[in-house]
Amino acid sequence: GQSLEQPSEVTAVEGAIVQINCTYQTSGFYGLSWYQQHDGGAPTFLSYNALDGLEETGRFSSFLSRSDSYGYLLLQELQMKDSASYFCAVTGGGNKLTFGTGTQLKVEL
């Protein structure tokens, strides 16, 4: 089976940097994705790591260590609009995404 663990809630102030961690146990692994979901909205793709290392996309960066079964999403220069749920997801066999339970990020003034 597959399981992913991430913190349930993170709070940070506007302009700060926040890191959301994700550890996973999987029977098949092609890559780790990150999605953002605002209340009432659909998950929006943020980043994907298939290989070890850091991927940077604007204010968002994602890191993967396959040997440690660990990844993180780094959000810089936090803005109020970044308040949302963030999910890590493993791409396993076929095109199946297994999602973590999600991290609720609250950005405060």
In 3D, which of 103, 98, 106 has the Cα closest to residue 78?
Answer: 106
Residue (96 or 106) nearer to another protein, CB = 96
Number of residues that bind another protein (CB under 8 A): 23
The CA distance from 101 to 43, in Å, is: 13
Q: How far is the CB of 47 from another protein (least distance, A)?
A: 9
Token pair of 38 as six digits: 């605002």
Residue (94 or 109) nearer to another protein, CB = 94
Q: One symbol per residue from 22 to 61: x for binding another protein (CB under 8 A), - otherwise; what is it? A: --------xx-x-x-----xxxxx--x-------------
Q: How far is the CB of 37 from another protein (least distance, A)?
A: 9
CB-based contact 43:33 (threshold 8 Å):
no
Name every residue whose Cβ is closer than 8 Å to that of residue 87 and which is 6 or more positions away in sequence: 6, 34, 35, 36, 37, 43, 99, 100, 102, 103
List interacting residues with another protein (CB under 8 A): 30-31, 33, 35, 41-45, 48, 87, 89, 91, 93-102
